[in-house]
Amino acid sequence: MNEALSQLLLGFEVALTPINIMWTTLGGVLGTIIGMLPGLGPATGVAVLLPLTFKMGPVGAMITMAGVYYGAMFGGSRASILLNTPGDGAAIATCFDGYPMTQKGRAEAALAMSAVASFIGGMIANVAMVFIAVPMARFSLKFGPAEYTLLMVFALVATAAMSKEKILQGFIGMAFGLMIATVGLDGLTGVNRFTFGILELMGGVDFLIIIIGIYALGEVFKSFKTVHDPSYKMQTKFGKITFTREDWKRSWPAILRATPLGFFIGALPGAGGTMAALMAYNNEKSVSKHPEEFGKGAIEGLAAPEAANNASSVGALIPMMTLGIPGSGTTAVMLGALLMLGLQPGPLLFTKQPEVAWGMIASMFIGNIILLIVNMPMASMLVRILAVPAKVLYPLILGLAFIGTYAITNSTIDFFILIGFGLIGIFLDKTKIPTSPLILGGIVGSTMETSFRQALMLSDGSPKIFYGSTITVALIAMSVFSIAWPFASSALKKRRSNKAASV
C-alpha cells in the first residue's frame, strides 16, 4: 500500500510539471468539447486528436489521451441536459432527468450537479485505481502465452456477446477485425499473408486509419441525416451554475452508490460507460423512495449515471494499462495509439516506465479538478459551442480525419483506405454490426495470434496448454459465461414474469 503511495507521489512529480498540467487541461477540454457534440464520443476524440500527441513524448501523449477520455464523460452530459440529445452513448441516461430539469428552468442545477457527480465519481475511481493497478499488474505477470491468448479471447467474446439480439453480428464483426489484423508479412515465418501482391500491404493495415475511417468519417456521414433538422432552440443565458442544499442531500447517496458500480462495470471487458450509466440509473430508481419523480427531473437520477460513467472510464483504463488488453472501443483506440508511439501497456509498463503509468494516474486527479472548474463556473461559456451549427462542425471533423491520417502514415494512398472504411462504417450501421468488437479484434489480433502460436510452440503443438492451468480454465469459464449470460438472464426474467402473471 505504501509502495503505491510512493509511486503515486512520483507520478505527481511528473504530472505537476507545467507542461503536463497543460496537456492535462488540453486533453480534458478538447475531450469535453468532443463529448458535447452529439454523435462524437471519446473513441472519435482520441482517434481524431491523435496527431496532436506525436510530439509530446510518451508521458504527455498518455496524459492527453486519458484527458480526452474522461473529459468526454464530463462533456457528454451538457448536450443531454440542454438539448435532450446525448453527446455520447454514455450520456443517454443523463437525458432522462437532465432535460426535464431544463424544461423546469433548472438547467443551472443540472449542469452543476452533473459536473460535481462526474468529479466525485472520477476521483473515487482514481483512488481505487491507485491501489488496484499494481497488484493487478503483478498478478498478470503469472500469465504465460496460453493465459494471454485466453484473456484476449475473453475480452473479445465479452464484447461481441454484449447484445443478445445482435450476438451473431457481434462475432462476425470480431472475426472481421481479427482477419484484418493478419494481413501482411508474418514475422515468425517470413510469409506474406493476404497481401494480394500489393507492396503497401506487406507492413499490414494500419488499424488507426480504420478507426478514424469508422469513427470519424462514418459517424459524420451518418449524421448528415440530422444536420438539416431545424437548429436546436437552446437556452443560452444562465444564472449562477449551482445547486441547492436540498439537491445535494438527495444526490450524494446516489453518487456514492453509482461510483463503485460504474467502476466495476467499466473494468469488465465489453460493458463500458453506456451500460454503467443505465444500470446506475435503474438501480437508483429502484432504491428511491419516490420513483415516480424519475423521468420528471429528479436530480438524483441525473447524479447517479454521471458518477457512474466517469467511474467506468477510469475502470476501463485498468485492464488496458495493467494487462495491455482493452475492454472497450475507446481503450482499444488508446492502446493502438500507444503502440504506435512505441509504448507497450501491460504489466511491464509499471516496472519499466513507472513515470508514464503513474504520471497518467496522477494526472487524472489533477484533470478532474480542472474539469470541475471548466464545467462549473465556466459552463455557460463552454456550452456556446453547442450553439455552433452542426453544419459547420461536422465538415471540419472530416478535415481533421484526413490530416490525422496523413500525420500517421505520410501517404495519400491511405486516404482511400480511410474513405473505404468510412463507407464500411455506414454499412456496419445498416447491418447492425457493432463496431467495438471489430476495433478490438483489429487491435489485439496480432498479439493474440502471436501468443497463440507461442503457446503451441511451448507445448509442442498440444492444445492441452489451453486448459491445463487454473487460470486458463477460469478464463474459459468466464468466456462461456459471458456468452450464456444474456440468454440465461432473459430466460430467468421470462420465468419470473410468467410466475407473476399466473399468481
DSSP at 232: P
Q: In terms of DSSP bridges, do strands 184-185 and 192-193 run parallel, antiparallel, or are they unpaired?
A: antiparallel
189 binds another protein (CB under 8 A): yes
453 binds another protein (CB under 8 A): yes
Looking at residue 168, its amino acid is: L
- Closest to another protein by CB, 415 or 481: 415
349 binds another protein (CB under 8 A): no
What cell was used for 336?
493502438
**Binding segment (CB under 8 A) for another protein, from list 8-16, 91-99, 341-349, 406-414:** 406-414
406 binds another protein (CB under 8 A): yes
398 binds another protein (CB under 8 A): yes
Other beta carbons within 10 angstroms of residue 495's beta carbon come to 10
172 binds another protein (CB under 8 A): yes
Considering only 244, 351, 412, 490, the residue that binds another protein (CB under 8 A) is: 412
Among residues 298, 310, 302, the alpha carbon closest in space to that of 259 is found at 310
Other beta carbons within 10 angstroms of residue 368's beta carbon come to 25
Other beta carbons within 10 angstroms of residue 412's beta carbon come to 11
Among residues 9, 4, 11, 15, the alpha carbon closest in space to that of 370 is found at 15
228 binds another protein (CB under 8 A): yes
Considering only 168, 387, 473, 491, the residue that binds another protein (CB under 8 A) is: 168
51 binds another protein (CB under 8 A): yes
Distance CA 75, CA 36 (A): 5
**Binding segment (CB under 8 A) for another protein, from list 68-76, 170-178, 282-290, 359-367:** 170-178
103 binds another protein (CB under 8 A): no
231 binds another protein (CB under 8 A): no
Residue ranges in 268-378 assigned as alpha helix (H): 273-287, 300-318, 329-340, 347-352, 354-375
433 binds another protein (CB under 8 A): yes
Considering only 227, 339, 471, 483, the residue that binds another protein (CB under 8 A) is: 227
431 binds another protein (CB under 8 A): yes
480 binds another protein (CB under 8 A): no
30 binds another protein (CB under 8 A): no
Q: Taking every pair of C-alpha atoms in the chain, what is the biggest distance, in angstroms?
A: 71
456 binds another protein (CB under 8 A): yes
55 binds another protein (CB under 8 A): yes
* Cβ neighbours for 378, distance < 8 A, ≥ 6 positions apart: none
Beta strands in 53-207 (DSSP E): 184-185, 192-193
Sign of CA dihedral 313, 314, 320, 325: negative
185 CB-contact burial (10 Å; exposed 0-12 / middle 13-18 / buried 19+): middle
CB of 290 to another protein, least distance (A): 38
CB of 342 to another protein, least distance (A): 17
385 binds another protein (CB under 8 A): no
Phi, psi (degrees; rounded to nearest 5) at 192: -80, 130
467 binds another protein (CB under 8 A): no
Cell 476495433 locates to 439
DSSP at 345: -
The size of the interface with another protein (CB under 8 A), counted in residues, is 55
How many residues does this entry show for the chain?
A: 503
CB of 16 to another protein, least distance (A): 24
- Closest to another protein by CB, 74 or 452: 452
403 binds another protein (CB under 8 A): yes
**Binding segment (CB under 8 A) for another protein, from list 18-26, 59-67, 176-184, 246-254:** 176-184
Phi, psi (degrees; rounded to nearest 5) at 478: -65, -40
Binding stretches for another protein (CB under 8 A): 51-52, 54-55, 168-169, 171-172, 175-176, 178-179, 182, 186, 188-191, 193-194, 217, 221, 224-225, 227-228, 391-392, 394-396, 398-400, 402-403, 406-407, 410, 412, 415-416, 419, 422-423, 426, 430-433, 449, 452-453, 456-457
